[in-house]
Amino acid sequence: MSLVKEFNDYREKMNDVILEKENKTLKRFFSLDHQAYAEGALPVKTKELMGLVASMVLRCDDCIKYHLGTCYEIGVTTEELYEVFSIANLVGGSICIPHTRRAAEYWEELKSS
Amino acid sequence: MSLVKEFNDYREKMNDVILEKENKTLKRFFSLDHQAYAEGALPVKTKELMGLVASMVLRCDDCIKYHLGTCYEIGVTTEELYEVFSIANLVGGSICIPHTRRAAEYWEELKSS
Amino acid sequence: MSLVKEFNDYREKMNDVILEKENKTLKRFFSLDHQAYAEGALPVKTKELMGLVASMVLRCDDCIKYHLGTCYEIGVTTEELYEVFSIANLVGGSICIPHTRRAAEYWEELKSS
Amino acid sequence: MSLVKEFNDYREKMNDVILEKENKTLKRFFSLDHQAYAEGALPVKTKELMGLVASMVLRCDDCIKYHLGTCYEIGVTTEELYEVFSIANLVGGSICIPHTRRAAEYWEELKSS
Amino acid sequence: MSLVKEFNDYREKMNDVILEKENKTLKRFFSLDHQAYAEGALPVKTKELMGLVASMVLRCDDCIKYHLGTCYEIGVTTEELYEVFSIANLVGGSICIPHTRRAAEYWEELKSS
Amino acid sequence: MSLVKEFNDYREKMNDVILEKENKTLKRFFSLDHQAYAEGALPVKTKELMGLVASMVLRCDDCIKYHLGTCYEIGVTTEELYEVFSIANLVGGSICIPHTRRAAEYWEELKSS
């Protein structure tokens, strides 16, 4: 499961480098970013799918990988996932197709792990 | 309910102008865009919220208004809506705040109608 | 032809305000921007259509209006124009639809002038 | 000074509508957004200019107006401002020109107030 | 011709992974995306150049590579190509320069194949 | 210092490939891009920080690397740099976090060189 491990390791290592600089605004922003996806009036699953679709239309591969990882953990199915992909592609256009390819590859790795 | 009516009337009028030109690709694209939000493995509500969050991070006021209208019709609550706003602002940044203001204004109009 | 006149008047007035400030970089940039669309290895028409499609996927209504004005002057047909619209919508996604509506409205005004 | 007053009044009114909904994530995000521009290792002026250039390349007219207002209050000169405009246009491209026009108009209003 | 082959192989492999999931909206969107570039009122060459310029200002390296491949096949010259690059850079700004570097590299590979 | 050398070498090599094509608009644009950061009413340091923040919110890793290199040369401190990162993340949103990670990594390499 190399793509997944590589992503998570790099992410963790660099977050440490960033947070140890003790910039208060950045620290609070990172913490707020997690808080936004917590269970609330909307369930965690809906929020993760929203995080994923937002990452896809903004075309950020690393953000996509992060949300794919969480989606996998909470049991999103492949059929559901591809409906997210279809909305992202319709809203964001064919410019999202290359990101969809990399997302599909990462999802296969998550499933085969 | 002037903001809402103004938006819907203009949208309908200009869609007619566009579709009467009989460009096949555009017609199919418009129809596909609707199809993406139909009930499937994911419920309509989740899809509308994804459409809304995508519109917010891409900062398209008219797309936001369209999805707010549908969200209102299917019974999304104000508390749920503001959780969508919070995710959109975290992912998309403070650059989304002015769009959140206009979205909040449109939502108040929908509720008071 | 109010939309067209309003756009051109404002554009000209504010360009004057900007250029009288004598910022050399901005002046050269404005002049370079014109130069890019001059006849070269590619004909003016192809360049204007490229300027239009770029403005549409980047979703800048004023840039779209500017290129629509030039396209109208050099004889682009409505059928050709809607093929540009269809490519812009496919590449840029449904987020471009509201801009396509305003582009369609502006084009009708240009034709009826 | 109508453009300036209109912007500030709407901004204040809608911020109230948003904040009274008591969404904790949004409230903290709004507060964090202010905190980021406070005097620190970098002076307030540099931070405001960075806020302005970021708003220009992301092409958000309301964010531009907000930072223009603060820049005016802290004594940024017209010559300095146009150097910000020139960097924004070079980095962000001619797609920023219409936003530069509206920024120039707003700045003239601030100066004539 | 490793860059070119690597790109085409990955693209084909992942398109297969995506399409075998049988998501109807995605399948139709992929097919519509091809249809938009077919000969019509505008010639194929103009459409490919528009696809390229749109990909450059939206800064999608894979989309750029795809259109460069097609441009090469239909006989676009290097001089014409660099006029597309110049328009993309003017409209999209210096933020497009790194993508222009990778596009230039890919084009050299296509020519030397 | 491999990341830094790799970036600079590739940048220089491909700029040569581009400029030898003698496209006048591109050449002037490249030269104008440098001119925008020269000492003027605003000091070089402020301009470099603006170039960096613009590159971060537009999420261009190569542009970020370029400005990080210059910031390092002119003596920007780590504390100042992280204030730029914090503004970029607040304005541009969590979608900028992966780019902040790569920026942090590149900065560590610059410091350890």
> Buried (b) or exposed (e) across C67-87, using 16+ Cβ within 10 A?
bbbbbbeeebeeebbbbbbbb
| C83 vs B23, B30, B60: nearest CB | B23
How many Å apart are CA A55 and CA A63, to the nearest integer? 6
Residue D78 C-alpha, separation from nearest chain E C-alpha, in angstroms? 23
Write down the pLDDT at residue C113: 82
Residue B96 C-alpha, separation from nearest chain F C-alpha, in angstroms? 9
How many Å apart are CA D7 and CA D4, to the nearest integer? 5
Write down the pLDDT at residue E2: 87
The string of pLDDT tens digits covering residues A61-102 is 999 999 999 999 999 999 999 999 999 999 999 999 999 999
How many Å apart are CA B92 and CA B97, to the nearest integer? 9
Of the candidates E60, C88, A49, the one whose C-alpha atom is nearest the C-alpha of residue B47 is: A49
Percent of chain F residues topping a pLDDT of 70:
99
CB contact under 8 A, B96 and F93: yes
Residue D25 C-alpha, separation from nearest chain B C-alpha, in angstroms? 6
How many Å apart are CA E48 and CA F47, to the nearest integer? 37
How many Å apart are CA F6 and CA F47, to the nearest integer? 25
Tokens at residue D59, please? 């092409």
Neighbours of E111 (CB within 10 A): 9
pLDDT tops 70 at residue D75: yes
CB contact under 8 A, A91 and C91: no
How many Å apart are CA E64 and CA E51, to the nearest integer? 8
CB-based contacts of D37, cutoff 8 Å, min separation 6: D44, D47, D48, D51, D70, F87
Mapping DSSP to helix (H, G, I), strand (E, B) and coil, where does residue A111 land? helix
Average pLDDT, chain D: 97
The residues on E that touch F, with CB distances below 8 Å, are 59, 78-79, 82-83, 85-86, 89-90, 94-95, 97-98, 100-102, 104-105, 108
| Residue type at position D4 | V
Rg (CA), chain E: 15
| C90 vs A57, A91, A94: nearest CB | A94
CB B35 within 8 A of CB B50: no
pLDDT tops 60 at residue D48: yes
Of the candidates C64, C34, F31, E90, the one whose C-alpha atom is nearest the C-alpha of residue D93 is: E90
Helix, strand, coil content of chain D in percent (nearest 5): 80, 0, 20
Distances (CA, A) of A35 to A44, A48, A62, B87, B101: 11, 12, 19, 9, 22
CB contact under 8 A, E35 and B29: no
**Structural domains of chain B in order of their starting residue, each with its CATH number:** 3-112 (1.20.1290.10)
| A78 vs E21, E30, E54: nearest CB | E21
Write down the pLDDT at residue E43: 98
The residues on D that touch A, with CB distances below 8 Å, are 24-25, 28-29, 32, 35-36
Write down the pLDDT at residue B14: 98
Residue D27 C-alpha, separation from nearest chain B C-alpha, in angstroms? 9
The string of pLDDT tens digits covering residues F7-18 is 999 999 999 999
How many A×C Cβ pairs under 8 Å? 28
**E40 neighbourhood in chain C, CB within 8 Å:** 79, 83
CB F54 within 8 A of CB B90: no
The string of pLDDT tens digits covering residues B5-43 is 999 999 999 999 999 999 999 999 999 999 999 999 999
pLDDT tops 70 at residue F47: yes
The residues on F that touch E, with CB distances below 8 Å, are 10-11, 14-15, 17-18, 21, 23, 25-26, 29-30, 33, 54-55, 58, 60-63
Distances (CA, A) of B99 to B71, D15, D23: 17, 11, 17
The chains found to touch B (3+ Cβ pairs under 8 angstroms) are A, C, D, E, F
The string of pLDDT tens digits covering residues E51-64 is 999 999 999 999 99
How many Å apart are CA E31 and CA D65, to the nearest integer? 43
Any idea what the Cα angle at residue D111 is, between residues D40 and D16, rounded to 5°? Answer: 60
Write down the pLDDT at residue A43: 98
State the helix-helix crossing angle for B78-92 and B44-57, rounded to 10 degrees: 40
Neighbours of E109 (CB within 10 A): 18
**D78 neighbourhood in chain F, CB within 8 Å:** none
Of the candidates B110, B85, B79, the one whose C-alpha atom is nearest the C-alpha of residue B99 is: B85
Neighbours of D73 (CB within 10 A): 10
CB E91 within 8 A of CB C55: yes
Is C113 exposed, middle or buried, given 0-12, 13-18 or 19+ CB atoms closer than 10 A?
A: exposed
| Residues of chain C predicted below pLDDT 70 | 1
pTM of the entire structure? Answer: 0.97
CB-based contacts of B67, cutoff 8 Å, min separation 6: B48, B51, B52, B55
Task: Report H helices in chain C.
Answer: 2-19, 24-35, 44-57, 61-73, 78-92, 97-111
Query: What is the complex's ipTM, to 2 decimals?
Result: 0.96
How many Å apart are CA A29 and CA E80, to the nearest integer? 46
- The residue in chain C having the minimum alpha-carbon distance to the alpha carbon of residue F37 is C25
Tokens at residue C77, please? 């047909």
Tokens at residue D26, please? 């949004």
CB contact under 8 A, B47 and A87: yes
The string of pLDDT tens digits covering residues F63-100 is 999 999 999 999 999 999 999 999 999 999 999 999 99
Tokens at residue A37, please? 């996806």
Which among F28, F42, F66 is the top mutation candidate for probing chain D, defined by the most D β-carbons within 10 Å of its own β-carbon? F42
The chains found to touch E (3+ Cβ pairs under 8 angstroms) are A, B, C, D, F
Where residue E1 falls among pLDDT bands split at 50, 70, 90?
A: low
The string of pLDDT tens digits covering residues B35-79 is 999 999 999 999 999 999 999 999 999 999 999 999 999 999 999
